[in-house]
Structure 1
Amino acid sequence: MRARVLAVLLTVLALLAGLLAAAPASATGDRATVVSERMVGDRLLELVVRSDALRAEVGVRLLLPQGWRARQGHRWPTLYLLHGCCGQKGGGHRDWTEKTDVAEHTRDLDALIVMPDGGQAGFYSDWLDGPAWETFHLTELRRLLERRYRSGPARAVAGLSMGGFGALSYAARHPGMFRAAASYSGVVHTTYQGPRTTDALRQIVRNFGADPDGLWGDPVADARIWAAHNPFDLARRLRGIPVYLSTGDGRPGPLDPSGSGHDGLEQLLGEQAVALAHRLDQVGVRVVTSFYGPGRHTWPYWERELHRSLPMLMRSIGVPINQ
């Protein structure tokens, strides 16, 4: 009898072990895994991360603080830097380190800086029909960073162009996750003047071979979904954190090559930023603006605005800065 009971128990345990082994990664909360990591500089760590939300492997770059290896038990304040879209001007997790001096400029800061891939036109969202970038960044990657790279609960977020949208949309959609947000030439009002903005945004998605309706649906029929992601419509949810907005107005400026022409995209984004700044002021959000007039949609301005906003971002997460 005892042997029979033991046999039954062993059978049950074997079945349970099989079920656990077959369970999806989401059941354990461990849905992003590091496929590879390599140092590509004294502080710069390149990761390839497998994401269940994206069903793909994507790149992430980390700038490690100087004391990261020595202070094994320390949890590090974290700044997320989000890239923009669209080819030569942006579109990948290496952009910030290859096109700006962010590595040198942050060398003495006691902060972990995270630069994740966001897709060439992913728009930092869980698509209605497509990739789940928001889940990857704010659930999978965040947990991975906390578990493996000692990221702490003090976080700030900043980004350029599409990444400026991501910074403000993420901060507004997830109150309490970020202590400050900054947008440089960001898409901060996705329905500004109706089709003038929505058609341009949908064309960007189309240019990269995706169905524009797969992102947030139709701007009219699915207006609620658009509003649920739009920083302008979410302005009230940014109360309690400082927000930094910067853009040019599209005219050639001091950091543009001689002979540069007018930049219609930067003009549009500048108008969006002005509209959002007024809205943030109306609802009591602490907003700092850097509307610098002449300036096109180019990296020298975004590097400069990172420098200008960095003290605010670092103060919000408790990191001393002498710049």
Structure 2
Amino acid sequence: MIAATAVLAGAMSGFGTSTATADPIMDSKALLGNPIAPDGSKITKAEYKDERSIRLTVYSAAMDRSFPVDVQRPADASVPRPTLYLLNGAGAGEDDASWVAQTDALQFLSDKNVNVVQPIGGKWSYYTDWINDDPALGRNKWKTFFTEELPPLIDGALGANGVNAIAGLSTSGTTVLALPIAKPGLFKAAAAYSGCAQTSDPVGSEFVKLTVETWGGADVENMWGPIGSPEWTANDPYVNAAGLRGVDLYISTGNGLPGQYDQLNNPYALPGSFGLANQILIGGVIEAGTNYCTHNLQGRLHELGIPATFNFRNSGTHSWGYWNDELHASWPTLAKGLGI
């Protein structure tokens, strides 16, 4: 699915301290002294964007590439704080279909005592580990990146306390349920907005194929092999939902019918009459699909006796206004898992 169809302690007051010892983010001269993940992944560059915001460049050994990772520091960084990993949709933050460009997410989280981490990169990949390199998308080892490489770097560089939550929309609404299963205990809470948890059945696999091949121009067999092969089942959060036990869960979707943000010239609507038609027609069909998947997941979690907060809106397409609202609504669940 496509979103909206579509080291480093300077004396910076925003960090709540003027000494290098209180905040382990050093200036760039100390970068080489910063943490290295077990496989050799590391932070190679850090740039202050403002008093609270840092752009890290992180080298992934698994992918042999570097990626930007944007960080918003907590309101009070004088003691170790938890971390919220905030994932974008199919465009992976490489386009304007992102939390930063389309919502007030960072403003909303600015008074919270949490590190907000947004990786940039991995479009059309479902943020999973692919079994083969792809001619269009290259090497994708995002499950490894999010579970083994990035967390120790974030914890070490930011002085975080090791307590994590994760939230995402559309395609990453699948990912944020898959990653807590892949690495038990790493994420204490997860919020999935307009995602489809099932990936290995005929309906779910068609969603994946539509995203990866039709929109991404890649070969889905390089991801998990031929449809129906064991990797598809192994990466299916619906099938493996028992692994979500103990995670604080918030899961939401609209039903595809036009809602409050599906109006001409609405700030959260795609521009112009053509854009609005696209949002209502294509975004409506996609959201109807995620509604189907989410009802299935609700039934699955109920069978397993795993508690979760579900929000089934009585309207709404696959678009940013609703995801912005859902981030706000899910904060109590995320905060509980983060211990805030």
**Bucket of the pairwise TM-score, normalised by the shorter protein:** 0.7 to 0.9
When the two structures are superposed, what TM-score results if normalisation uses the length of structure 1? 0.82
In structure 1, the residue matched to 2:222 is: 214
| Matching residue within 36, 50, 62 for 2:71 | 62
Whose Rg is larger? 1
The reply to whether residue 245 of structure 1 matches residue 221 of structure 2 is no
Q: Which residue of 2 aligns with 1:24?
A: none
Identity across the alignment (%) = 31
Does 1:234 find its partner at 2:240? yes
Measured against aligned partners, the alpha-carbon deviations of 1:150-201 in whole angstroms (never above 9, x if no partner) come to 1222111111011111110001222211111110001211135x1x431331
Contact 2:86–2:117, Cα closer than 8 Å, also in 1: yes
Q: CA RMSD in A?
A: 2.1
Residue 274 of structure 1 pairs with residue 279 of structure 2: no
Partner of 2:132: 129
Of residues 158, 179, 197 in structure 1, which corresponds to 2:167? 158
**SS of residue paired to 1:122:** coil
SS in 1 for 2:298: helix
Counterpart amino acid of 1:211? D
Matched residue of 1:147: which SS?
helix
Q: 1:39 aligns with which of 48, 51, 61?
A: 48
Q: Which runs of 5+ in 1 are unaligned?
A: 1-26
Question: Is residue 156–residue 180 contact of structure 1 (8 Å, CA) maintained in 2?
Answer: yes
Secondary structure of 1:153's match? coil
* Cα shift at 1:66: 2.4
Aligned partner letter, 2:178: S
Q: After superposition, where does 1:106-145 map in structure 2 within 5 Å?
A: 106-130=109-133, 131-145=140-154
1:1-323 correspondence runs (5 A): 29=38, 31-68=40-77, 71=78, 74-86=79-91, 95-130=98-133, 131-192=140-201, 194=202, 196-206=203-213, 207-220=215-228, 222=229, 224-258=230-264, 260=277, 261-262=280-281, 263-319=284-340
Q: Is the 8 A contact 1:83 1:92 kept in 2?
A: no
Alpha-carbon distance between aligned partners in 1 of 2:153 and 2:333, rounded to the nearest angstrom: 26
How far residue 219 of structure 1 moved from its aligned partner, in angstroms, is 1.8
Cα distance in 2, alignment partners of residues 289 and 203 from structure 1: 26
TM-score by length of 2: 0.78
Secondary structure of 2:165's partner? strand
Give the Cα–Cα distance (whole angstroms) in 1 for the partners of residues 90 and 218 of structure 2: 14
Distance 1:189 1:47 in 2: 33
Does 35-44 or 168-177 show the bigger shift?
A: 35-44
Cα displacement string for residues 5-42 of structure 1 (whole angstroms, at most 9, x for unaligned residues):
xxxxxxxxxxxxxxxxxxxxxx9725222232222233
Provide closer, same or farther for how the CA distance between residues 252 and 150 of structure 1 changes in structure 2, counting only shifts above 3 A.
same
| Structure 2 counterpart SS, 1:169 | helix
1:12 corresponding residue in structure 2: none
Distance in 1 between residues matched to 2:226 and 2:296, nearest whole Å: 23
Q: What number of residue pairs does the alignment pair up?
A: 283
CA shift at 1:114, angstroms? 0.9
Q: Deviations over 1:210-246 (max 9, x none)?
A: 22101111122x1x21121111011111111221110
User: Which AA in structure 1 matches 2:289?
Assistant: L
| Change in CA separation of 1:227 and 1:118 when aligned onto 2, cut-off 3 Å | farther
Gaps of 5+ in 2: 1-35, 134-139, 265-275
